[in-house]
A = this chain, B = another copy of it.
Amino acid sequence: MVAKKQKGKGKKVTRVGRPNKLNSVNVRETLIQAGVELLETTSLEEISLRKVAAKAGVSHVASYHHFENKHALFSAIAEIGFQKYFESYQIELQKTEQDFKGRYRALGWTYFQFIMNNRQFARIMFGGMGVESNLNPTLSSVSRRTYRQLHEIIRMGQNLGYLEKGQTREKTLASWAMIHGIAMLFLEGRLQMKNDTKEMEKFIQTVTEYAYNGMKS
């Protein structure tokens, strides 16, 4: 159903990546890329190591030469998602005022928007598979990076007198959790909302305001 068939006919169907001379680095990245593309059309539940391999044009066993198991392969796919997210934050930052409130709001809005616009990615990134992500060193470093980004902004706000001093960790977590929680509730389908970007932005802005008000000095 996916691809496969047709061994050496020149018509490679939906194979991903360069057509020939796949060295091993190539295969690893072709697998990841195939996973990323498959994720766009297939729900996380339906995706499988075998389908990714088929899309990549290699035997499914080949995956085990580059990844320890299915989780490792899927984590690598999720990692691409985190890269995309960090990039989108950088882009959003360009468009925003560089003061504390601008950056604080930009981070929350980017976080939320990315999850809404990349639901499949979000599902693979945020433990949809029961992955305890602290078991994966890369993912946990990515979590720390997210944490540190926000932590830095909070600290900036404290230094500039916008936020009350002290309890920086608590304030960081509270801010992160609020946005994360809203995104997760939407993602799980527990909340409905008009799919209107303007309205969503306003909503996130309101909520961000609550958090900011609750922590200001």
Q: Is A128 an interface position by the 8 A CB rule? A: yes
Q: Is A8 an interface position by the 8 A CB rule? A: no
CB-based contact A214/B209 at 8 Å: yes
CB-based contact B189/A132 at 8 Å: yes
Collect the chain B residues with CB atoms within 8 Å of residue A213's CB: 213-215
Q: Is A67 an interface position by the 8 A CB rule? A: no
Q: Which B residue's beta carbon lies closest to that of A144?
A: B190
Collect the chain B residues with CB atoms within 8 Å of residue A61's CB: none
Q: Is A206 an interface position by the 8 A CB rule? A: yes
CB-based contact A189/B130 at 8 Å: no
Collect the chain B residues with CB atoms within 8 Å of residue A174's CB: 178, 182, 206-207, 210-211
What are 30 pairs between A and B in contact, CB < 8 Å?
A43-B130, A126-B184, A127-B128, A127-B188, A128-B128, A128-B130, A131-B189, A134-B190, A134-B192, A140-B190, A170-B206, A170-B210, A173-B191, A173-B203, A174-B206, A174-B207, A176-B181, A176-B185, A177-B179, A177-B180, A177-B181, A177-B184, A177-B185, A178-B178, A178-B211, A180-B185, A181-B184, A210-B214, A213-B213, A214-B215
